[in-house]
């Protein structure tokens, strides 16, 4: 299933299943059995997913709206946390002549940075002049995970979506080593367009992944290049802290970020950034300075 969080007529956020160009309201189609927000839905675990499948397969005609008539929000607008992994693509490590990390490099993006499809990435040019893109595979946790073994780790994944780990390079490094501040500016975490459930992703470690800026492909790789694979990340993180349903792990970015180009390229007002992963969809956001 492709699960979305959406708004129609500027109303409250709703939980939907995307079927072709139609969105089925899951709370309505399930006769009120399912909640209207993704986090509560994921907390229901496998029973929730089954109820959603039943609702989609049943008579959902009265609960259906055209995708063109709604606004998509981030599929999980309010996770308890976004855990981010740095320097995790072998092709990126080789390109930058970096040392291969011995353990995953971990930071966070505050959840207030999350935006959805079509929302503007916005920054104050007095605060940063080096805004960069990073396409990343985002893993969404489906079950409470603490001290999970690598062998079972994928059982804790609800599904996958696409993230743009937008990064202010000057704040991240040049003005002091402040990764979290430089990556947590409001609007710096576009997420979406949909949460694609695990059963629809045959191999998350073999997906084409790209970033396109103003029509030009800047990043083009495959998740097969991931150094620390998803089960290892879940096991490693959950040895330290609990991952809750709805938590998002973004798994690092492939080569081609603006800061690594010669000469470097940074985003400016009016630019349009698309991040995409095969099977998961495309997420497009315009840039606004001010
Ligand atoms: Zn990143």
Give the tens place of pLDDT for each residue, 74-94.
999 999 999 999 999 998 888
Phi, psi at residue 113, to the nearest 5°? Answer: -85, -5
Cα dihedral across residues 174, 175, 181, 187: positive or negative: negative
According to the model, what pLDDT value does residue 281 have? 98
Ligand 1 centroid–CA 34 distance in Å is: 33
According to the model, what pLDDT value does residue 24 have? 97
pTM tops 0.95: yes
Residue 146: pLDDT over 80: yes
Ligand 1 centroid–CA 129 distance in Å is: 18
Residue 61: pLDDT over 90: no
According to the model, what pLDDT value does residue 10 have? 82
Ligand 1 centroid–CA 136 distance in Å is: 7
Contacts of 283 (CB under 8 A, 6+ apart): 117, 162, 164, 190, 191, 192, 193, 274, 275, 276
Ligand 1 centroid–CA 25 distance in Å is: 33
Ligand 1 centroid–CA 240 distance in Å is: 21
Give the tens place of pLDDT for each residue, 203-238.
999 999 999 999 999 999 999 999 999 999 999 999
Residue 242: pLDDT over 80: yes
| Arithmetic mean of pLDDT, 21-32 | 96
Question: Pairing relation of β-strands 157-164 and 135-141?
Answer: antiparallel
Q: 219-240 in b/e burial notation, b at 16+ Cβ within 10 A?
A: bebbbebbbbbbbebbbbbbee
Measured CA to CA, the distance from residue 180 to residue 254 in angstroms comes to 20
């Amino acid at each position: 299933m492709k699960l979305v969080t959406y708004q129609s007529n500027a109303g409250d956020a709703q939980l939907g299943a995307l079927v072709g160009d139609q969105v089925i309201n899951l709370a309505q189609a399930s006769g009120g059995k399912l909640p209207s927000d993704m986090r509560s839905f994921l907390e229901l675990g496998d029973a929730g997913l089954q109820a959603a499948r039943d609702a989609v397969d049943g008579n959902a005609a009265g609960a259906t709206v055209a995708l063109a008539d709604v606004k998509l929000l981030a599929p999980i607008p309010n996770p308890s946390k976004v855990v981010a992994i740095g320097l995790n693509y072998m092709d990126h490590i080789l390109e930058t002549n970096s040392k291969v990390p011995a353990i995953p490099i971990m930071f966070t993006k505050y959840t207030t940075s999350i935006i959805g499809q079509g929302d503007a990435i916005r920054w104050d040019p007095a605060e940063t002049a080096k805004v960069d893109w990073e396409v990343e595979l985002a893993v969404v946790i489906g079950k409470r995970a603490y001290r999970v073994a690598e062998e079972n780790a994928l059982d804790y994944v609800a599904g996958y979506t696409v993230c743009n780990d937008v990064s202010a390079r000057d704040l991240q490094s040049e003005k002091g080593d402040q990764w979290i501040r430089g990556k947590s500016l409001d609007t710096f975490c576009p997420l979406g367009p949909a949460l694609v459930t695990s059963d629809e992703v045959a191999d998350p470690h073999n997906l084409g992944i790209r970033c396109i800026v103003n029509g030009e492909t800047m990043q083009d790789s495959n998740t097969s290049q991931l150094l620390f694979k998803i089960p290892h990340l879940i096991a490693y993180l959950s040895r330290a802290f609990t991952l809750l349903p709805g938590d998002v792990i973004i798994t690092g970015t492939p080569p081609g970020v603006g800061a690594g180009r010669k000469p470097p390229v940074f985003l400016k007002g009016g630019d349009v950034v698309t991040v995409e992963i095969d099977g998961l969809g495309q997420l497009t956001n315009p840039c606004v300075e001010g």
